[in-house]
Amino acid sequence: MSLTGLAQEKDVSYSDNGTVLKGHLAVPKKGTGKRPGVVIIHAWTGINDFIKTSASRLSELGYYAFAADIYGADKRPQNTAEAGKTSGFYKSNRDLFRSRIKAAIEQLVEAGADENNIAVIGYCFGGTGALEAARANFPIKGVVSFHGGLDKREDKQEADVIRPKVLVLHGADDPYVPETQCAAFREEMKSRKADWQMIYYANAVHAFTEPSAGDNNSKGAAYNESAARRSWEHMKTFLSEIFAD
């Protein structure tokens, strides 16, 4: 898909079951007709400049892009302790997590995206959320998880086929997502007959797309320029494929 020029961007207030949320919308300036849309789920610190930049870059590719707010308009973690507590709450309450993602999908469609061509992507905590959207079989074409957690909850829908296509982009040295979790995820995808891919990046740990994570792999989370660049290209190819279908 060709570039369409700079995006039109704005913050958007919406809600989920009475909770006020504040997302960020980026819309391509040019082009006619319905366009595919991508929901972006933030990492554990909430919507930040990195997430907004991701929305801008996606809109420059011709997509409607909406940065979802999982936490609430008045809830922005101020430090890692708060971020860990808040993200942990949603990972322990996955029905609520899924509800917030569904609300973002609905908001993206309301903004003008093609309801038949929606994807969900996410980073770290958001990558976990993207996989929840697939597990829940939301009406989307596919999901992309950047260095997200791969664990799942017990679910009565577990035997159902996962219909959205799945792409997992994973740091080969990520200490927070051990190989045992990766193996369990692969078995889950096989048992639910998903169309899935998992790409490992050498010398990459957790948060490899985040420039603010620094460059010290020994901390377990660090930026890796090569993995960040390659993963973005892999995502672009995946989106082109699922929307072409």
Per-residue model confidence (pLDDT) at position 35: 94
- Tell me: pLDDT of 87 over 60: yes
Phi, psi of 157 (to 5 degrees): -85, 5
User: What DSSP character marks residue 77?
Assistant: -
With residue 13 as reference, give the H or E element that holds it. strand 7-16
Domains of the chain: 7-244 (3.40.50.1820)
- Tell me: pLDDT of 81 over 80: yes
Beta-carbon contacts of 149 under 8 Å, excluding residues fewer than 6 positions away, are: 91, 124, 125, 127, 128, 176, 177, 181
Each residue's pLDDT tens digit, 53-68: 999 999 999 999 999 9
Per-residue model confidence (pLDDT) at position 156: 59
Per-residue model confidence (pLDDT) at position 73: 95
With residue 240 as reference, give the H or E element that holds it. helix 225-244
The upper half-sphere exposure of residue 241, i.e. CA atoms within 13 Å in the direction of its Cβ, equals: 16
Contact 126, 83 (CB under 8 A): no
- Tell me: pLDDT of 222 over 80: yes
Each residue's pLDDT tens digit, 114-162: 999 999 999 999 999 999 999 999 999 999 999 999 998 776 555 689 9
Q: Indicate the pTM of the whole model.
A: 0.94
Q: Span 77-104, mean pLDDT? A: 96
Q: Span 83-88, mean pLDDT? A: 96
Beta-carbon contacts of 177 under 8 Å, excluding residues fewer than 6 positions away, are: 147, 148, 149, 150, 170, 171, 206
**Among candidate residues 151, 201, 196, the one with its CA nearest the CA of residue 174:** 201
Least reliable range by pLDDT among 4-13, 174-183, 192-201: 4-13
Per-residue model confidence (pLDDT) at position 157: 55
Per-residue model confidence (pLDDT) at position 152: 87
